[in-house]
Amino acid sequence: MSQETLAHLSRADAVLGGLIRAVGPCKLAAPEDCHPFQVLAQAIAHQQLNGTAANTILKRLVDSCGRGTFPTPHQVLEAPVESLRAAGFSFAKVAALKDLAAKTLAAVVPDGAALMQLSDEQIIARLTQVRGIGRWTVEMLLMFQLGRPDVLPVDDFGVRAGFRAAYGLGRMPHPRALAAWGERWKPFRTTAAWYLWRALELKRAGTLPSPAERIRLPRVKRLRRAARRGAAGPERGKPRRRAAVRARKLPARRASPAGARTPRSAPRGRLRKAAKTG
């Protein structure tokens, strides 16, 4: 990592600069050769599993479906569901693998060379069309396989928790607030994210420096309650309509004589009977 990058981040953000000095040089690994189908298939296997279990499942996939090498999209499409289930994939992951294979053959998921020609947002838009692949997964691909320098995964728990620790916040930052704050780190937000991950390691070791200054995150506009409910809005009118229908069905009550009071404790059925008999 160039000294120019670290100097830019330190000038833009005093707290991040202190974290950089405490951690030392950035050891972000050099980008690897990117084979999108294989990378995304591995990501699907790792979802909600620890690394050892996921690697075991992938080895079974290689042995049974790929005959010793990582299977091609054609091989995954042709593989019986029972075979993939036997390797350890859930029904949801089997569906995701099949969809990934189909979209790779349809060129929705491009090969590595074509992927390199696309912008970050174009890659996210293309790859998140695959079932089971979300923005976070694609952001990890951008950072570690493609080596894109300006990616900030604001939904990543480690990045948010690292920011909270490094900046001495009382609560986790909202992703949109973190994104707004991270604008000052452009065009090196990938490096900033790497240092935020390291902040958690320093905190566990008891060596995390105190923030150089107190900050206030940008205010995030909260969605109005009615907007959050969305489709629930029209449902709110139903009780009133039902009440109106019930009112039309009830017999009209006669006015009580002047000065007379209807006892509140009288049962409703007795009141109706009195109304009918006049």
Q: Which residues are catalytic?
A: 156
Cβ 115 vs Cβ 34: under 8 Å: yes
Tokens, residue 216: 């206030």
Cα angle at 4 between 213 and 29, to 5 degrees? 95
Closest residue by Cα to residue 133 from 165, 104, 175: 104
Count how many Cα atoms sit within 13 Å of the Cα of residue 26 in the half-sphere of its side chain: 26
Place of tokens 């996210």: 124
DSSP string, 150-218: ----TT-HHHHHHHHHHTT-SSPPPHHHHHHHGGGGTT-HHHHHHHHHHHHHHHHHT-PPPPSS---PP
